[in-house]
Structure 1
Amino acid sequence: MSEHFSALFSPRSVAIIGASEDVTRIGGRPLRYLNEAGYEGTVYPVNPNRETVQGYKAYASVADLPESPDIALLAVPAKATVEAVRSCAEKGVKAAIVFSAGFAEADEAGAAAQKEMVAIARAAGMRLLGPNCLGVFNSSAKFYGTFSVVLDEEFIQPGPVAIVSQSGAYGAALADLARNRGMGISQWLTSGNECDIDIAEALKYVVQQPETRVVMAYAEGVRNRDSFIEALDTARKLGKAIVFMKTGRSSVGAEAAASHTAALAGSDAVFDAVLRQYGAYRARTTAEQLDIAYAASFGIYPKGNKIGIFTFSGGFGIQMADDAEENGLKVAPMPADVQAELKALLPYASPKNPVDATAQAVTDLPLMTQYMRSMIERGGYDIFSAVLQSGPNSKTYGPRLIEALDAATAGAKDLVKAATMSVPREVEKQFEDRGFIVHEDGSALMKAIGALNQFRESFEQAKVRKALEPMQKIAIPREEVSEHAAKKLLSHAGIEFPHEELVAPDGDVGAAAARVGFPVVLKISSPDIAHKTEVGGVVVNVRSEDEAREAAAGILARAQDKVPGARIEGIVVTPMIGQGVETIAGVSRDPVLGPVVMFGLGGVFVEVLKDVTFRAAPFDVDEAHRMIREIRGYSMLEGVRGAEPSDVNALAELLSKLSRFAAAHAEEIEGIDLNPVRVMPKGQGVKVLDALIIPRKEV
């Protein structure tokens, strides 16, 4: 991958197939950009109708080129693209970018042409980007393999932010907005239809580049589950932040995504959970994506979540404190002795936190400096944020304020520094040069700082996480299995179930019930009856042998009546367990992200409130704990109204085991339901009362 991506981002030579003299055309813009940027590699325009193109010697065909270029930009119509790919493959080109649309996103003929050119490229060992894309650029290498108009007026400076986007238009908009925000860009790639190179592969490459600190990504769907998760995991291990914009949250959006790039959107809730699982931040708006990428571009993450807020206005400080708490930051009070010292210096101040120095400190530079230095040196804060508003823009006060901040923050290398202000860009830059994350809006700033704290937590988790041992596979039937059989299969994963007995249709259910111990539950056992309650196949709270025999006869009769021909194994007799917090766990096969584990509280919480969360399988116990704490009803497990805390440790063990079983049998299982799962009081484990396995019939 490295060789081909080096050719893609830092080629020593480039051919432009369909090069144009007209700098406004698709074949003209890349040539113009390379020329004006001072690209130092060799440029080969290919145009059979001209001797020169924009001052460069032109060649009639790819075959006529004096060498095999590292990369080719294909700026020809869709109908000519397949032959252009063939010519490049025959010449030994390492990578090609296909700009044209009209392929898999258009119709069946386009899909066939796309398939053909992929086959040609793969046979030659050549990589393809696109089609239907805007290409790539690498500012440091002065390589601009794109026709995007975003570069028309001004090139984008190198910097710590990379952009990878399936949508060319969105990628270009992000680049423009990042430039306006003062962010430089390391690498920029748009993947389009992803006939070969996809966003996951690009993501993994850019996070490994030393100059990249943060990646802004846009996707409508992903094609390769393992490659995508590997990219996210690589970023987390390297301490690189990913800020993701994923569209298709609504059903309408998902349909539009599929038609736009022929991508499979998959389940949005699952995608959302996988991003959380691997430490990527999912932005809900473009503004949020930019805010968080901007904050991460400084490359400094808080050591913890304690924030100190300095302000001259109590109202602004309180608002920021509210926003900080909402985003997982702790607005801890200043130490009592420091508060007393500051109060003595300025009786009208409020030195608790937010530290309100009042307008009086504005005119007293040493006093203002002492207040801020006390917060930074003695407050024990991981983050320092100042509410400055329009003050820095004052010609008389602004320089004094910077002087005070320089003195107060000197030596605080690990401190995350932030400030809100409403000033021109050139004034913002003075603070940015001093390491301050600057924003006009305090709420947006606190969301961004909260995201930095989330990234820090994820990076720390990656350092201590150990590889999971793969679970040994067992034979899974290709046809439906009964609850009793499902439990036997799942027991191989170390999942424990209450003791039960399976009694043949002509056996003595009463005697079995007595052995299990009253009260008991009776259930029909049949691979053809997945939802037993719908056919009257369950009777609860049975308290005697005679009652058990009578109930069993009724269950068998109803099953015969409602599902004639069903294979009946008999009656399952299991203990009646009513205590514990009711939860549900299961596995489903996401069409893109493969086996995922679902967890939530049972009853109304799952049926009406949809209070569930997901994780990609497999995962460890620590991740299971984070999963459990995500649901809105988590307090039910902590113990409410005098109830004992639940055995969350046992629940986390169960979810991790289930995930490992699901991963080991990803090709054999379509779904698993454990419902209900009763979480008993702390130290008493969990009771899995029912199990369903749905085999995958077609592989």
Structure 2
Amino acid sequence: MRRDLNLDAIPLEKTADSSRLDAVFRPRSVCLVGVSADPARLNHAPLNLLRMHDFPGDIHLVNPKYDVIDGLPCHRCVEDVPYGVDLALVMVPAAEVPDTLEHCCDRGMKAAIVLSSGFEEIEGGVTLVEQMRRICSEHNLTLIGPNCEGVWSVAASTILTFGSAAKRQRLYHAPLAVVSQSGAMSGAVARHLQDQGYGCSYVVSVGNETDTSLLDVTDWLLDQDDVAHILFFMEGLRDGVRLKRIVDKARRRNVTLVALKSGNSAVGAEAAASHTGKIATPYAIYRDVFAQFGILQVDSLTDLVEIAQVLLAMNPPRRSKQANQGGVAVCSIPGGTRALTADLCGANDVPLACFQDETVDALEQNLPRFGYFKNPIDLTGQVLSRPNMLNDALEIVAKDPNTEALIVQFANRGLHDVRKYEDALARIAREYRLPVVVSLLSDEMPPEERRHHAESGVFVARDPRDAVRWLAWLYRVRETISCSGQESGQERQGEIQWAPSDTWRGTLGLLDKVGIKTPRFAVLRPVQDAARACADLVYPVALKAMPEDVEHKTDLGAVALNLHNATEVDRMARTIRERIGKPENDLLVQEMIRDGVEASLAVMRNPDFGAVLAIGAGGVMVELLQDVAYLALPATEIQIHAAVGRLHLSRLLAGFRGMPLVDRQALVRAAARLGDAFLNMKASVQEIELNPVFVRPNGQGVVAVDVLVRRSA
């Protein structure tokens, strides 16, 4: 349920220890530069909204065209504004912004919000950006924007935006903040939350993030008492390496983070040489890093609004004391939705409760004999003609200690029945502290009425899909909270130092340090015959170009497998040298690995998150199946295990269709140590890929047969 808020306890004035963003969200006075007297103009809206919502501080206006606007005196220039105003809202043409900011700093202003557009997004705007950054640095000015829609600080009655979403007589306050790189998207989320009476505490459009980034704002929000949930809309993070610290802080504060990311179809890392680098799209990396850090990711604006409502209004799932027994109880009046709801729970990783025998016996005594008394329950249509039967059944289910949440599925008169059983459903939610979701058969309840039920702890879903989806979000939140801190006690490996080398022999030192074996090998020189070079090897063998000579050997036909004697090696050596056009090059001969599962490991530098680990299927299958998980470094073994568990590779490692179990722990340990080593390398090393890596039967570790090292130009 919504956290009770003591709004009087939220300070509106800065203190000596206050954050530099306090002046943005709790200013004592504001200056609107470029404000218009015309109510139809966007640059009049901030003045209108400040007065509409009773901003408690002083409002100063600047526009050389006017002496008075709406009864307030208007200054001709910023230099005429009294010294020491906290915040400037700048709405002048882009070319005038740097000089305006200089004048604001001269008048003692410590923060500014620039709504103006026309910077990085147009030709020639970069110079203006550089000037603004210099001003921020020299004067310690906090800047939001430019090209943004402004901010809301509801408890402080500070609504500094031209967005129409705030144009209403009352703003509902709730412990939820919206932070967006798009003004329209933040306004849309806020509008829906206000229209339906849920509310929010802060709305921030960061725009171009010239000075203050989305994560800067988030860091400040995590210190606020009226923030329990933060919703993001983002295209990307320019400072994603800070994300882990931000997430750790959110966990300590029990603040839920939810993200909707756009720009997912652009192909990233175009210059990457490895297979894993080629498929490292923004979507793949963001998706997996969010999962690594416990950030909920949604796929649409509708989901972003709905998850806000769910987080604000619903109880979290109870926790059963019996391992693997707790979950959702489904009580269905129409028999046809039982299996459908169970299928949806399975697809969304929502557990179904396993009832105790006493619960099943009590249901059997209470319900018609042709009902079904285990989960999911078939209540039968008879309960609607006998209200006490339904009430008793819900009570029995709610008392079961393995019931963590409740779905009640009504039939074709669902809207009527929700109203009829309103008090009983609310009592179950309240007394047993259960999230209760009532599911309809594609019927739409009016938003005001849905909000009324939500205030009682009962959420009304249009159909079973929505009901299960909402509970899936709550379970993911609970899982994130329960995992908080579990990795803090894990011992990390000692620092791994390796002098980067592009050669096969040079990389053997790295492989040894991270616990990865290599096959027995020989180097076949142009002047040697295979019989002499391979005298100590056991056939069959593989022959290939040296890793430092050719990046994608399979594509060029520079690999030959299962060669059974020296004659075959000599013949294929000539062929490979011809194919790569390097007749004088050495070739690598390796004993064939005959068992194990092929995987791949890679570490690379990502522009958003810094050092990133990739782990997934091996060989050419990594590109074909794109069965790869990405983790921001450093990554713990617990996080790597979880990432592997989401891959199809996991089934192969577990012994798919009678295959032997392989050494998954050795793969995870090697991945963690490879990540540690990469963090200690010079930035000139852009990427290292081990592909394939053979994960051998339990106790036999992992073996890498190919290594690719890519450096910056």
Inter-partner Cα distance in structure 1 for 2:142 and 2:199: 27
Query: Which is worse superposed, 89-98 or 657-666?
Result: 657-666
Inter-partner Cα distance in structure 2 for 1:252 and 1:678: 29
In structure 2, the residue corresponding to 1:634 is in which secondary structure?
A: helix
Tell me, yes or no, if the aligned pair for 2:519 and 2:593 is still in contact at 8 Å.
Answer: no
- What aligned pairs does 1:476-487 form with structure 2 within 5 A after superposition? 476-477=500-501, 481-487=502-508
Inter-partner Cα distance in structure 1 for 2:620 and 2:189: 42
- Which residue identity is paired with 1:35? R
1:402 is aligned to 2:422: yes
Moved over 6 A (4+): 252-255, 389-392
Inter-partner Cα distance in structure 2 for 1:236 and 1:22: 46
Tell me, yes or no, if the aligned pair for 1:535 and 1:559 is still in contact at 8 Å.
Answer: no
| Number of the residue aligned with 2:469 | 447
2:192 alignment partner, one of 177, 189, 192: 177
Query: Which is worse superposed, 24-33 or 166-175?
Result: 24-33
In structure 1, the residue corresponding to 2:406 is in which secondary structure?
A: strand
Inter-partner Cα distance in structure 1 for 2:315 and 2:516: 43
Inter-partner Cα distance in structure 2 for 1:379 and 1:310: 16
Q: 1:149 and 1:234, CA in 2 relative to 1: closer, same or farther beyond 3 A? A: same
Inter-partner Cα distance in structure 2 for 1:603 and 1:677: 8
| Number of the residue aligned with 2:498 | 474
| Number of the residue aligned with 1:129 | 144
Deviation at 1:368? Answer: 2.3
1:416 is aligned to 2:432: no
Inter-partner Cα distance in structure 1 for 2:24 and 2:437: 37
Q: 1:119 and 1:22, CA in 2 relative to 1: closer, same or farther beyond 3 A? A: same
| Number of the residue aligned with 1:278 | 293
Inter-partner Cα distance in structure 2 for 1:279 and 1:356: 35
Total equivalences in the alignment: 676
Inter-partner Cα distance in structure 2 for 1:136 and 1:168: 9
Deviation at 1:484? Answer: 2.6
Tell me, yes or no, if the aligned pair for 2:229 and 2:256 is still in contact at 8 Å.
Answer: yes
| Number of the residue aligned with 2:703 | 687
Tell me, yes or no, if the aligned pair for 2:689 and 2:708 is still in contact at 8 Å.
Answer: yes
In structure 1, the residue corresponding to 2:61 is in which secondary structure?
A: strand
| Number of the residue aligned with 1:642 | 658
Inter-partner Cα distance in structure 1 for 2:328 and 2:540: 56
1:325 alignment partner, one of 346, 351, 362: 346
Inter-partner Cα distance in structure 2 for 1:27 and 1:407: 49
Inter-partner Cα distance in structure 2 for 1:352 and 1:590: 50
| Number of the residue aligned with 2:639 | 623
- Which residue identity is paired with 1:614? Y
Deviation at 1:20? Answer: 2.4
- Which residue identity is paired with 1:684? Q
Tell me, yes or no, if the aligned pair for 2:34 and 2:91 is still in contact at 8 Å.
Answer: yes
Inter-partner Cα distance in structure 1 for 2:563 and 2:414: 77
| Number of the residue aligned with 1:489 | 510
- Which residue identity is paired with 1:316? T
| Number of the residue aligned with 2:127 | 112
Q: 1:286 and 1:252, CA in 2 relative to 1: closer, same or farther beyond 3 A? A: farther
Tell me, yes or no, if the aligned pair for 1:208 and 1:235 is still in contact at 8 Å.
Answer: no
Inter-partner Cα distance in structure 1 for 2:244 and 2:96: 36
| Number of the residue aligned with 2:454 | 432
1:287 is aligned to 2:302: yes
1:528 is aligned to 2:553: no
Deviation at 1:54? Answer: 1.8
**Unaligned stretches of 5+ residues in structure 2:** 1-16, 271-279, 321-325
In structure 2, the residue corresponding to 1:370 is in which secondary structure?
A: helix
Deviation at 1:423? Answer: 3.1
- What aligned pairs does 1:541-556 form with structure 2 within 5 A after superposition? 541-543=562-564, 546-547=566-567, 551=569, 555=573
| Number of the residue aligned with 2:35 | 19
Tell me, yes or no, if the aligned pair for 1:595 and 1:617 is still in contact at 8 Å.
Answer: yes
Deviation at 1:556? Answer: 6.8
Tell me, yes or no, if the aligned pair for 1:161 and 1:183 is still in contact at 8 Å.
Answer: no
In structure 2, the residue corresponding to 1:447 is in which secondary structure?
A: helix
Inter-partner Cα distance in structure 1 for 2:154 and 2:343: 40
| Number of the residue aligned with 2:692 | 676
In structure 2, the residue corresponding to 1:464 is in which secondary structure?
A: coil
Inter-partner Cα distance in structure 1 for 2:315 and 2:46: 36
Deviations, residues 235-287 of structure 1 (Å, cap 9, x unaligned): 344332222111112249999xxxxxxxxx96221122111111112211111
Inter-partner Cα distance in structure 2 for 1:85 and 1:284: 38
2:111 alignment partner, one of 95, 119, 125: 95
Deviation at 1:327? Answer: 0.9
Deviations, residues 524-565 of structure 1 (Å, cap 9, x unaligned): 446333344566654444555x54xx7358637853784448
Inter-partner Cα distance in structure 2 for 1:143 and 1:470: 50
- Which residue identity is paired with 2:384? V
Q: 1:189 and 1:390, CA in 2 relative to 1: closer, same or farther beyond 3 A? A: farther
Deviation at 1:464? Answer: 0.8
Tell me, yes or no, if the aligned pair for 2:112 and 2:141 is still in contact at 8 Å.
Answer: yes
Deviations, residues 394-452 of structure 1 (Å, cap 9, x unaligned): 4xx66652332344445323x33322354333432342222233332321221121122
Inter-partner Cα distance in structure 2 for 1:15 and 1:243: 33
Inter-partner Cα distance in structure 1 for 2:388 and 2:298: 41
Q: 1:85 and 1:595, CA in 2 relative to 1: closer, same or farther beyond 3 A? A: same
Deviation at 1:625? Answer: 0.9
Inter-partner Cα distance in structure 2 for 1:35 and 1:124: 30
Q: 1:353 and 1:181, CA in 2 relative to 1: closer, same or farther beyond 3 A? A: farther
Q: 1:94 and 1:565, CA in 2 relative to 1: closer, same or farther beyond 3 A? A: farther
| Number of the residue aligned with 1:375 | 397
In structure 1, the residue corresponding to 2:641 is in which secondary structure?
A: helix
Q: 1:660 and 1:155, CA in 2 relative to 1: closer, same or farther beyond 3 A? A: farther
1:204 is aligned to 2:219: yes
Inter-partner Cα distance in structure 2 for 1:306 and 1:235: 26
Inter-partner Cα distance in structure 2 for 1:253 and 1:390: 49
| Number of the residue aligned with 1:262 | none
Provide the TM-score with structure 2 as the length reference. Answer: 0.87
Please provide the CA RMSD for this pair.
3.0
Inter-partner Cα distance in structure 1 for 2:430 and 2:231: 32
Tell me, yes or no, if the aligned pair for 2:557 and 2:579 is still in contact at 8 Å.
Answer: no
1:55 is aligned to 2:77: no
Inter-partner Cα distance in structure 1 for 2:87 and 2:587: 68
| Number of the residue aligned with 1:358 | 380
| Number of the residue aligned with 1:579 | 595
Provide the TM-score with structure 1 as the length reference. Answer: 0.89
Q: 1:318 and 1:573, CA in 2 relative to 1: closer, same or farther beyond 3 A? A: closer
Inter-partner Cα distance in structure 1 for 2:34 and 2:242: 33
Deviation at 1:10? Answer: 1.2
Deviation at 1:295? Answer: 1.4
- Which residue identity is paired with 1:376? A
Inter-partner Cα distance in structure 1 for 2:158 and 2:62: 18
2:241 alignment partner, one of 226, 230, 239: 226
Deviations, residues 89-111 of structure 1 (Å, cap 9, x unaligned): 2222111011111111111x212
Tell me, yes or no, if the aligned pair for 2:314 and 2:435 is still in contact at 8 Å.
Answer: no
In structure 2, the residue corresponding to 1:382 is in which secondary structure?
A: strand
- Which residue identity is paired with 1:405? L
State the percentage of identical aligned residues.
Answer: 27
Deviations, residues 37-83 of structure 1 (Å, cap 9, x unaligned): 11111211123343332222333332222231221000112222121
Deviation at 1:469? Answer: 5.9
Deviation at 1:331? Answer: 2.1
Deviations, residues 460-511 of structure 1 (Å, cap 9, x unaligned): 222211275673443325xxx1223223234333433344455666678645
